[in-house]
Structure 1
Amino acid sequence: MKRPSFHDLTPEQQAQFGNGVGPCWLPDPLRRMITETASWFFKDASWRHHDFGYAVGGDQWDRARCDWKFFMAMLRDALSHPKWRIIRIPLALMIALMFFLAVRIGGQLGSFEYRADYASLEEILEDYSP
């Protein structure tokens, strides 16, 4: 089966996909606060793509690829700040590294869908629709 892509979602589905920044067990107000704070440094698509990759699932290498792509997207975002570069870029790089370590360590505790085959787009939408 072909691996579903985040770009297979409609723009509306993309905008609503995922739970923000943080694990599903984190209280919603705290996760919202972290997501809003991270929005100062990173684009929403970074973690929405990451959440989608975790929903598609696969093996440990698929999870590592999702985490690495998330890290690379955060680094691109971190280096693209035109205003207050001297402050924002180092801070964004530090936060990106912390988030990367968090998903590498915490993502194995139940967020990633380990499975033999990738989930279909229909399965993902059924399981993860708001």
Structure 2
Amino acid sequence: MISPGTLSGCSAAIWLLVTGSAALGGPVQSIELHCGKALQQPLCDALAGALSERFPGAAVSAADGQTGPADLTLRYVGHSQTADWISGYLEWQHRDGRSGQGPAIEQSVMDGHLTADSIADFAGHLVGQTEFPL
């Protein structure tokens, strides 16, 4: 039979494994998405949402230019955009100086125009296919 003291220690160890070290009050990662004039608001909002889903414990913010230092800074680089087609990729820079970019992603609509849902889908693919250093 397991003593109550051992059970408590075992439960605490399992809780730490399940919740991760963020539950101990570790620093929250900050992600800054640069949303300049070239990046339309629906796409900026969709990217911020996709980043929040991929990194649920991170503080995701959108900025028009240079702000305070973030753990990860992202910028969308568009190749082309029409009413029914969009393509581009994400560039990132880590606080420690590392940088990189994700693959170019394309999204098109055959029977109409890009909608908020298709732009959100595009943003999800951009974030999902980019390897970030977090």
Does TM, scored on the shorter chain, surpass 0.5? no
TM-score, with length taken from structure 1: 0.28
Answer 1 or 2: which has greater strand percent: 2
Larger radius of gyration: 2
TM-score, with length taken from structure 2: 0.28
Answer 1 or 2: which has greater helix percent: 1
